[in-house]
Amino acid sequence: MATELIGGIELEVDEEGFMTDPSQWNEELAPALGKEIGIDELTDEHWKVIRFLRSDFEAQGETATLRRVSTLAGVPTKDLYKLFPKKPAKKMSYVSGLQKPTGCV
């Protein structure tokens, strides 16, 4: 298992760099993860998505898709693409310390 030192923590990551142990994540870590992928500042809107993803993961055991975030957290699709440009599903998962979503939609 590969590890990566981010935010002062030796994180367990998969071959793509996504964290494999969600319990290693905490809210202090998110800004450091964001910086890794070019999101310099996490706004309240980012946090709304991140907190939804974390609580939804706890309840469902898997990472929510964009569709799920837009319908259940009430963040419009357009905004998700602005907050996490180009690859919103992967970027929001990464910052939230979760695997990328497995669902198709």
Partner 1 sequence: MPKFDDDGGDRKLCIIVSKGTMEWSTAAMVLGNAAIGEGIELHVFFTFWGLDAIVDRRMDKLKISPVANPSMKIPGTDIGMANMLAGLPGMTAFASNMMAKEMKALDVPPHREFMQMVHDSGAHFWACRLTYDMLKLTPEDLWDGVEDVISASDFMELSEGAQIIFI
Active site residues: 104
Binding window for partner 1 (CB under 8 A); candidates: 12-20, 22-30, 48-56 = 12-20
Q: Any residues with CB less than 8 A from the CB of 70 and at least 6 apart, and which? A: 76, 77, 80
Site residues for partner 1, window 68-97 (CB under 8 A)?
68, 70, 76-78, 81, 85-91, 94
**Shortest spacing between CB 71 and partner 1, in angstroms:** 8
Q: Tell me which of 18, 22, 24, 62 binds partner 1, using CB under 8 A.
A: 18
For position 65 contacting partner 1 by CB under 8 A, the verdict is yes
| Angle CA 98–78–58, to nearest 5 | 25
Residue among 3, 10, 12, 16 that touches partner 1 (CB under 8 A): 16
Q: Which residues bind partner 1 (CB under 8 A)?
A: 4, 6, 13, 16-18, 36-38, 65-68, 70, 76-78, 81, 85-91, 94, 103-105
